[in-house]
C-alpha cells in the first residue's frame, strides 16, 4: 500500500464574538487518507464526524476563555451559570438571582439549546434543587461533583428508596433578549424551559424551518409568552408558549 498523504478538510467551529453571540467560522484540519492501491478503482476518504451542538458550544466557550487569557484576562471561564437565567414563576418571567420581573412575554434570539436536568429533594416545587447536565445528577453544571449535596440530602431523608430524588429533564437555551426598551436589551441569558414546554419550542423551530426557507432559531426572533394555566390543585402550572415573529434583522 502506498504511503498516506494529508488532505485538507474544512470543518465548522463556533466562536463567541465580542457581543457574546455564537458565530460560525471555518477552520482547516489535516486528515490522513490512504492512497488507493493499484488494484483499487475508487479511493475512500476518511472524514472526521461532525461535532454535536453541545460540543460546538463547549468549544466556543473554551475558545472565548483562551482568547481572554491571551489578552491578559486569565480565569474567565464560561459555563452554563455564567449568564442570568430566565424562569417562569407565578405567572411572570423572572430574570436572574434578583428575580427581576421582565413581564409575561419577551422577545429573544435563541442561539443554542441543550438538555438540562433539575434535581430536587422531592417533587415538592418548594424543595431544594440544583442544575446538572448529567441525567443522574452526579455533577453540577460546572462539572464539579454533586456528591456532597446528595449526601446532605440523604442525611435529611431524601434520595432513599422510599423517598427518591425528583429529576426532571428541562431544556436550556442560550439566548439574547431583543426588542426591549430597558437595561436588559441585548443581554445574553439562559432560558430554563420545563418538560411540558419543550415540545412547544420544537414546534416553533419547525415552523421557522418550513416557513422561512430553512431558517434556524438563531435566524429568527422568538417571542416567549406565559401560557394559560393547566392542571389543578398543587399540580397546576403555566407553560411557556413560543411564537416566531419574523427573521432577526439585528
- The H or E element that residue 191 is part of is strand 188-193
Q: Could you give the CA distance from residue 103 to residue 223 in angstroms, rounded to a whole number?
A: 12
Answer yes or no: do 109 and 65 share one domain: no
Q: Which of 30, 32, 31, 27 is nearest to 11 (CA)?
A: 27
Answer yes or no: do 39 and 150 share one domain: no
pLDDT exceeds 80 at position 86:
yes
- Residue 75 counted as domain residue: no
| Grid cell digits, residue 235 | 399540580
Answer yes or no: do 205 and 154 share one domain: yes
Compute the average pLDDT of residues 197-217: 96
- Residue 44 counted as domain residue: yes
Answer yes or no: do 91 and 48 share one domain: no
Answer yes or no: do 97 and 40 share one domain: no
Of 45, 70, 95, the one marking the end of a domain is 70
Predicted pLDDT of residue 68: 85
- Residue 51 counted as domain residue: yes
Q: Which of 125, 117, 129, 158 is nearest to 233 (CA)?
A: 125
Predicted pLDDT of residue 234: 74
Predicted pLDDT of residue 8: 41
pLDDT tens digit string along 137-150? 999 988 899 999 99
- Residue 79 counted as domain residue: no
- Residue 204 counted as domain residue: yes
Block residue for cell numbers 489535516: 30
- Predicted confidence band of residue 59 (pLDDT cuts 50, 70, 90): low
Of 70, 97, 114, the one marking the end of a domain is 70
Answer yes or no: do 160 and 195 share one domain: yes
9-18, 57-66, 232-241: segment of lowest average pLDDT: 9-18
Number of independent structural domains in the chain: 2
Block residue for cell numbers 446532605: 152
Answer yes or no: do 240 and 138 share one domain: yes
Answer yes or no: do 143 and 54 share one domain: no
- Residue 235 counted as domain residue: yes
Answer yes or no: do 100 and 199 share one domain: yes
pLDDT exceeds 90 at position 171:
yes
- Residue 78 counted as domain residue: no
Block residue for cell numbers 455564567: 82
Answer yes or no: do 29 and 121 share one domain: no
Answer yes or no: do 51 and 110 share one domain: no
Q: How many other C-beta atoms are found inside a 10 Å radius of the C-beta of residue 93?
A: 21
Structural domain boundaries enclosing 155: 86-247
Polymer length of the chain: 250
- Residue 232 counted as domain residue: yes
Read off the pTM: 0.69
Compute the average pLDDT of residues 39-67: 57
Which domain CATH number covers 124? 2.40.50
Answer yes or no: do 101 and 192 share one domain: yes
pLDDT exceeds 70 at position 66:
yes
Amino acid at each position: 500500500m502506498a504511503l498516506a498523504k494529508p488532505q485538507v478538510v474544512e470543518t465548522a467551529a463556533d466562536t463567541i464574538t465580542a457581543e457574546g453571540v455564537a458565530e460560525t467560522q471555518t477552520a482547516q484540519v489535516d486528515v490522513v487518507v490512504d492512497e488507493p492501491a493499484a488494484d483499487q478503482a475508487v479511493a475512500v476518504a476518511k472524514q472526521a464526524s461532525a461535532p454535536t451542538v453541545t460540543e460546538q458550544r463547549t468549544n466556543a466557550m473554551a475558545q472565548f476563555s483562551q482568547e481572554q487569557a491571551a489578552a491578559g484576562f486569565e480565569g474567565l471561564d464560561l459555563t452554563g451559570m455564567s449568564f442570568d437565567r430566565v424562569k417562569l414563576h407565578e405567572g411572570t418571567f423572572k430574570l436572574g438571582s434578583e428575580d427581576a420581573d421582565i413581564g409575561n412575554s419577551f422577545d429573544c434570539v435563541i442561539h443554542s439549546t441543550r438538555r438540562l436536568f433539575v434535581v430536587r429533594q422531592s417533587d415538592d416545587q418548594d424543595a431544594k434543587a440544583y442544575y446538572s447536565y448529567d441525567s443522574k445528577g452526579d455533577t453540577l453544571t460546572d462539572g464539579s461533583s454533586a456528591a456532597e449535596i446528595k449526601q446532605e440530602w440523604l442525611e435529611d431523608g431524601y434520595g432513599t428508596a422510599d423517598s427518591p430524588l425528583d429529576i426532571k429533564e428541562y431544556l436550556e437555551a442560550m439566548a439574547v433578549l431583543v426588542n426591549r426598551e430597558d437595561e436588559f436589551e441585548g443581554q445574553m441569558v439562559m432560558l430554563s424551559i420545563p418538560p411540558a414546554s419543550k415540545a412547544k419550542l420544537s414546534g416553533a423551530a419547525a415552523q421557522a424551518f418550513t416557513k422561512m426557507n430553512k431558517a434556524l432559531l438563531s435566524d429568527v426572533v422568538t417571542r416567549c409568552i406565559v401560557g394559560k394555566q393547566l392542571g389543578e390543585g398543587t399540580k397546576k402550572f403555566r407553560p411557556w408558549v413560543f411564537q416566531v415573529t419574523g427573521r432577526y434583522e439585528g
